[in-house]
Structure 1
Amino acid sequence: MVREKRKNHIPFRLNVLFFAVFALFSILILRLGFIQIVEGDEYESMLNDEGEQTATVDAPRGLMLDRNGNTVVDNELQLSLTYTNRPGNEEERIAIADRLSSFLDITEDDIDDITEREWQDYWLQTREDEAEQLVSEQEQAELEDEEVYQLQLDMLSQDEIMADMDEDEMEAVAIWTEMLSGYNYSPNRIAEIEEETAHAIGELLHELPGTDIMRDSVRFYPYGESFSRFLGQTGSIPSENLEQYIGEGYERSDTIGTTFLENEYEDVLRGEKAEMTTDADGNETMDPGKRGNDLVLTIDMALQQELDSIIQGVIDGASGDTFLDDREAYVVMMEPDTGEILSMASYGDHLGTVTNAFEIGSTIKPATVLAGYTHDVIDHGSTYNDRPLTFPGDARSVSSWRNMGTVDDIDAIRMSSNIYMAGIAMEMADYEYGASGTDWSGASTAYRMLRNHYRQFGLGTETGIDLPFEMTGIEGTENPENLLFMSFGQFDTYTPLQMAQYTATLANDGDRIKPKLVKEIREPATGSEETGAVVRQFTPEVLNSVNNTTADFDRMHEGMRQVMQTPGSNGTGGTAYSDFSGADYSPAGKTGTAQVTVNGQNGNNQAMIAYAPHDDPEVAIAVIVPNLSTGDNASGLANNITRQSLDAYFEMQEGQPEPEEVKDEDEMYQDQQGDEEEEIDMEG
């Protein structure tokens, strides 16, 4: 039998497979060649980058100097211990906290700040066997983990936990809570440490994973508490603003300005961080960074200290029954033609100059008379018969502090006539005394006329000062009776800063200048330079011009001059004539007394506004002393403060004294740990 010869061939499908493998290898070889030849340098650079490590060091913030070059906010080196959290490092964190307790000074306040939940969590993590026994096996089987955890918390009290710990362990808990407060993968400052402590911990850093020592700078104030609240504070980024700051290039652990000037000028004061880069071969390169720019303030620190001292002397010298509530007094002094604030001083908290509002009494009267001119209800020389006014119904009667008879516009300012102002308000309301009866239908129009004119001076509106916020005062409820009292300053409320801007606007013949606390921004000084180059210089900014003529203002200048200087045509001195006898700087101003009720008792707010010299003003001042009794022992406090403050200003122009630095270190340094947002009382 002849065997059939079989064909020896490769199936078609196998050929296709071989071809596909060949094509894939060809593509792979081409790709490897492309990567090595064309993209080799790029990938080598990426590999080097992977081996690089970059460490950043916070740059010191810019300084703040007063208008004469005295440093009012400086930086001092501060060493900080940091810890970087990572997921799953709970046991490590507890062990490190225990070791650090022997190096760090933990106070009773630190332990008191630990919350009950933190005590509970620490106990559960360090006593797992005991924690497990708190819940039965059946409960553990039937309940979710969160429910078991909640049961354990319910069975633990802070007192029992603390009784189970010695002092060393409680100190460790305080450190542990600080370590927990940071974000994952971001260094968190847990303690400020001295250099000796830093050396001791530094020798053990290799045994304390996640810990490091950072060189920080801490703010300190050579002049202590004087003006320090307005300078502001620094602290951690608030959680509600975290995303915003990270978007601007900040890190979670960065320190920022949290209040007032530190916050308002954060982008200026913030420095450029130093960077140390180490490549894969251990070579180091350094970008030194840059300190933040400096602020040159408008404040005269020597004058600020002097006004603080004057206020304290006057208010402390008042008898015990002078005040119906806490002792307060506020002074704002500024240059009228530039808007530069020279001083914001007080008895009590300086912030009250921008956050507290008061009825300012007769100091409002120049604005009321000017409103009368604008709305053609009076003219230069118009007269009223100053006598008590009574109205039908339940409306209160209105009178001046004495019956003055016939007075014109200048007399009304010099002698402080309430009736003249009430007359202006009635004319605006189209109310005829003795004929209109209870028909006050035009009162709403009069309110609008007066308030709109007051706002042109900065009363009842934002002044525009370079701070994160300010109070705008409080407008009372409109009714006919209140309209008359508003016209002479016993209704709406205003801040001392608004009063100062109003005074400056009067001095400027109606130009309302934006007040400011920063005069210049400068680069950090280098080498032998005392100050760096000017980055920005702020020029006066006119916010608006009051709708009155130069002749209108001339009438008010004369009336305000007669308040403090030469008696009027009838030989009668103004309401501050005796207080400013002998003043050689030719002041002009207006006194004010607003009747208020304080703690159920009748009292007064005393106020005064002034500028000098009256014919070419270089300084404007506003003073208010609220919540005074009606007794004779309380009289003249605002006038006294104004006289001493203006005397001090003009004396200092003859020879600039140096401000005095404080000696108490506790007053000089700011604690940057745990700074919280200022709580501001916005009630007037």
Structure 2
Amino acid sequence: MGNNKKKKRNHVPARLNFLFLVVFLLFSALILRLGVVQIVQGEEYVKELERTTNVTARIDAPRGLMYDRFGNIVVDNELELSITYTPQKKTTHAEKLEVAQKLEKLIEVDEEMIDNIIPRDRIDYWIITRPDEAKEKLTDEERRKINDPTEEYRLTVERITDEDLSEITKQEERVLAIKREMDRGYALAPQRIKQGITEEEAHIVGEHLFELPGVDILRDSTRTYVYDDTFRSFFGRTGSIPREKLDYYLSRGYERSDQVGTSFLELQYEEALRGQKALVESVTSRGAVVGEREQLGQRGNDLVLTVDMELQQIVEGIVKKEVETGAASFIDEKAAYIVMMNPKTGEILAMNGYEDDTGALNKAYAMGSSIKGATMLMGFHEGSVHPNKYIYDRPIQIGGQTKKSISNLGSINDLQALEKSSNVYMFFIAMEMAGFRYGTNCCWNDIPGTYDKMRYYYSQFGLGSETAIDLPSVSTGLSGGIGQGGNLLDFSIGQFDTYTTLQLAQYISTIANDGYRMQPHLVKEIRQPSPIKDELGPVVYQNDPKILNRIDMSDAHIKRVQDGLKRVVNPNLSGTWRNAGFSYDVAAKTGTAEVRVAVTRSDGTRYLVDGTNQTLVAYAPFDDPEIAVAVVVPHVRGKNPHPFSRNILKQSMDAYFELKDNRNGPLSNGEERPVQNDEEEENN
């Protein structure tokens, strides 16, 4: 028994020793192999690794579409071809220049590309293409003393003259324009050289790709506008990343060659509209592709706008017809602006300017009596006047000047002051706020402070303040500064500070909305792209109505002013627009601001012409407002001019209510909407 146990114990160490031996031999073989790989074949493998590269190509995806509030596509994408250039890590300027010279013979270089050339581009091109002449700009002794390539280059640049640069021919300019676009990109990243190439250019370049290293033809897309120029200015533009914003976009994952929104909605909603690029990662070894992985791209998100494209087209037609019918009434340039918005939500339904849509946002004018609703509410809140207070409307003398209403209105209360557009009633509000008692000539207290206080009240309605519309770079109007007491009276009737048409629309919307100032906006929703054509995808973002502020005035005072504005169009009273002829309940306020317009003679001298800015605001229905409108027609000459503002507002508001019952949809490019003649309009 004892011997058997001893034999079993001897067998275990023998087996372990054998196992250790095997492991030792395996590790030895592994270490030997690693030594061979690292020491003997290491250099060869390093070279092989250098010959193997991973290249990731990013293929642009189309931008998101834009729809109007009823689901009509207004901004679409259209397939186009672009020429791109992808430099390698060690591509030299000489190699780029050679490619540019060949490419110039195959494509047409746009004037816009040439216009983008800056003086420094020409200098660098001259140095590259004329190395011997560039070398002669410095003496050998100067080079020995400098011994710094950067300083040598700087001194050479300084000595290049305009005469030197005049040697660059028109053909060389085209080559330079191409090379300039090449230089904008990074190594291994495609840079667009020319977008929207013709089929002929694509065929020619395609046949010569073998001699154009780095050049390729890319499937691209461009914006198309289904309804031609309708609302097009507000859609905005796309283009190359502006130089001053390059760092901003690069930090957010963009590439130098990317197209971005550069104005208005395209810029404001760039992050939403931007598509997700497709990624194609290729692994090459010894010039051959040995592996490839692709990640599909996706079109950007779509915008659903607040705009009613059918109403927009009708309004544009109305504005154009009225301006051109009364063209002789303008002092200088023909102009008219209109903004139509929902006062409860801030949604912009239509917005137009005659041959200048964006002027409704960025051109400011004295608005005249149309702002008197805000002045009256300010007077109520300050205690300068109170509901049913009577003031005798007659000419008054301030600082040697006579100030008056359009006619002597006699004893009137606040409602009649709005109805008949009394200037004197507003003057008394301003004087009372400044502590001035008319008749005693005492005393103006803190005129600058009164200006500040009045601007504070007006800003609550959006007059002179940011409207907060979802667009970049919108004007807030211009302050007239601080004037004398007489100017304070002008301020109270809209003849001192200037405002934009959008601000005027926000002001009347605030009154219509019982004192709540809403943020005007053009985008209703952001939606994911749908795989089904002409169908909207899921909602990503809902632009809910936003209250910017509630004016300081009481509900009772707001209701009182609303009643006064309703009297303006009452056919049974003496309102300034009692003959308007609306078939629905409307509140409105007319305005006429006196202006002096500088006009240039044919010999270049200038002279002043007296004229007026016609302004008009309204909302309807009175008891439950759903549309608020502001119209501004600046620089109209003479007395009894063409009634631009009244015709434009009446017809546009009528169109809004008619579309609620009878809608045919917007007209596509090339279609024409029948225009009613004057006889038909009178019958209606």
TM-score range, shorter-chain basis? 0.7 to 0.9
| Cα offset, 1:246, TM superposition | 1.7
Where in structure 2 are the equivalents of 1:2-41 lying within 5 Å?
none
Match of 1:647 in 2: 654
Q: Provide the TM-score with structure 1 as the length reference.
A: 0.84
Query: 1-side partners of 2:656 and 2:565: how far apart?
Result: 20
Contact 1:116 1:157 in 2 (8 A): no
Contact 1:384 1:408 in 2 (8 A): yes
In the alignment, is residue 288 of structure 1 matched against residue 296 of structure 2? yes
For residues 186-221 of structure 1, give each alpha carbon's deviation from its aligned partner in whole angstroms, at most 9, with x where no partner exists.
Answer: 322111223443243234333222222222211121
Match of 2:527 in 1: 522
| Cα offset, 1:486, TM superposition | 0.8
Where in structure 2 are the equivalents of 1:401-480 lying within 5 Å?
401-437=406-442, 439-478=443-482, 479-480=484-485
Select the residue among 79, 82, 90 that pairs with 2:81.
79
Select the residue among 610, 624, 627 that pairs with 2:618.
610
Select the residue among 382, 387, 394 that pairs with 1:380.
387
Contact 1:323 1:629 in 2 (8 A): yes
Where in structure 2 are the equivalents of 1:42-57 lying within 5 Å?
51-57=53-59
For residues 120-145 of structure 1, give each alpha carbon's deviation from its aligned partner in whole angstroms, at most 9, with x where no partner exists.
Answer: 54344334456556777777777773
Change (3 A) 1:270 1:403: same
Match of 2:183 in 1: 180
Match of 2:633 in 1: 625
Select the residue among 222, 246, 251 that pairs with 2:250.
246
In the alignment, is residue 576 of structure 1 matched against residue 577 of structure 2? yes
Q: Name the aligned partner's letter for residue 348 of structure 2.
A: I
For residues 624-673 of structure 1, give each alpha carbon's deviation from its aligned partner in whole angstroms, at most 9, with x where no partner exists.
Answer: 011111332x2421111111111111111112232122249xxxxxxxxx
Q: Which moved more, 1:533-542 or 1:124-133?
A: 124-133
| Cα offset, 1:384, TM superposition | 0.5
Please give the secondary structure, in 1, of the residue aligned with 2:451: helix
Contact 2:431 2:437 in 1 (8 A): yes
Contact 1:264 1:466 in 2 (8 A): yes
Match of 2:326 in 1: 318
Q: Name the aligned partner's letter for residue 79 of structure 1.
A: L
Q: Which moved more, 1:51-60 or 1:181-190?
A: 181-190
| Cα offset, 1:107, TM superposition | 4.8
Contact 1:134 1:155 in 2 (8 A): no
Change (3 A) 1:175 1:246: closer
Q: Name the aligned partner's letter for residue 355 of structure 2.
A: G
Contact 2:68 2:74 in 1 (8 A): yes
Q: Name the aligned partner's letter for residue 388 of structure 1.
A: P
Q: Name the aligned partner's letter for residue 394 of structure 2.
A: R
| Cα offset, 1:293, TM superposition | 0.6
Where in structure 2 are the equivalents of 1:77-116 lying within 5 Å?
77-85=79-87, 89-107=92-110, 110-111=113-114, 114=117
When the two chains are superposed, the root-mean-square deviation of aligned CA atoms in Å is: 3.0
Unpaired runs of 5+ in structure 1? Answer: 1-24, 37-42, 665-684
Match of 1:65 in 2: 67
Query: 2-side partners of 1:104 and 1:76: how far apart?
Result: 21
| Cα offset, 1:459, TM superposition | 1.1
Contact 1:230 1:260 in 2 (8 A): yes
In the alignment, is residue 542 of structure 1 matched against residue 547 of structure 2? yes
Q: Name the aligned partner's letter for residue 577 of structure 2.
A: A
Q: Name the aligned partner's letter for residue 101 of structure 1.
A: E
In the alignment, is residue 217 of structure 1 matched against residue 221 of structure 2? yes
Query: 2-side partners of 1:242 and 1:525: how far apart?
Result: 31
Query: 2-side partners of 1:418 and 1:204: how far apart?
Result: 76
Contact 2:326 2:642 in 1 (8 A): no
Q: Name the aligned partner's letter for residue 621 of structure 1.
A: V
Match of 1:352 in 2: 359
Q: Which moved more, 1:80-89 or 1:251-260?
A: 80-89
Please give the secondary structure, in 2, of the residue aligned with 1:73: strand
Match of 1:671 in 2: none
| Cα offset, 1:588, TM superposition | 1.2
Query: 2-side partners of 1:184 and 1:149: how far apart?
Result: 27
| Cα offset, 1:102, TM superposition | 2.4
Change (3 A) 1:493 1:112: closer
For residues 36-77 of structure 1, give each alpha carbon's deviation from its aligned partner in whole angstroms, at most 9, with x where no partner exists.
Answer: 9xxxxxx9xx98996543211011111111111111111111
Q: Which moved more, 1:286-295 or 1:240-249?
A: 240-249
Change (3 A) 1:151 1:420: closer
Query: 2-side partners of 1:367 and 1:148: how far apart?
Result: 64
Select the residue among 182, 189, 192 that pairs with 1:189.
192
Match of 1:496 in 2: 501
Match of 2:275 in 1: 271
Q: Name the aligned partner's letter for residue 247 of structure 1.
A: S
Match of 2:669 in 1: 662
Q: Which moved more, 1:250-259 or 1:83-92?
A: 83-92
| Cα offset, 1:171, TM superposition | 3.7
In the alignment, is residue 505 of structure 1 matched against residue 504 of structure 2? no
In the alignment, is residue 361 of structure 1 matched against residue 364 of structure 2? no
Contact 1:135 1:151 in 2 (8 A): no
Change (3 A) 1:116 1:265: closer
Query: 2-side partners of 1:629 and 1:318: how far apart?
Result: 11
Change (3 A) 1:238 1:490: same
Unpaired runs of 5+ in structure 2? Answer: 1-26, 39-44, 599-607, 672-684
Q: Name the aligned partner's letter for residue 616 of structure 2.
A: M
| Cα offset, 1:172, TM superposition | 3.0
Change (3 A) 1:257 1:102: same
Query: 1-side partners of 2:68 and 2:465: how far apart?
Result: 28
Query: 1-side partners of 2:459 and 2:125: how far apart?
Result: 58
Q: Name the aligned partner's letter for residue 461 of structure 1.
A: S
Query: 2-side partners of 1:139 and 1:528: how far apart?
Result: 69
Change (3 A) 1:406 1:70: same
Query: 2-side partners of 1:270 and 1:524: how far apart?
Result: 12
Query: 2-side partners of 1:151 and 1:333: how far apart?
Result: 57
Contact 1:116 1:158 in 2 (8 A): no
Change (3 A) 1:120 1:451: closer
Match of 2:491 in 1: 486
Query: 2-side partners of 1:64 and 1:49: how far apart?
Result: 46
| Cα offset, 1:180, TM superposition | 3.4
Query: 1-side partners of 2:568 and 2:480: how far apart?
Result: 29
Match of 1:682 in 2: none
Query: 2-side partners of 1:426 and 1:440: how far apart?
Result: 8
Contact 1:485 1:491 in 2 (8 A): yes
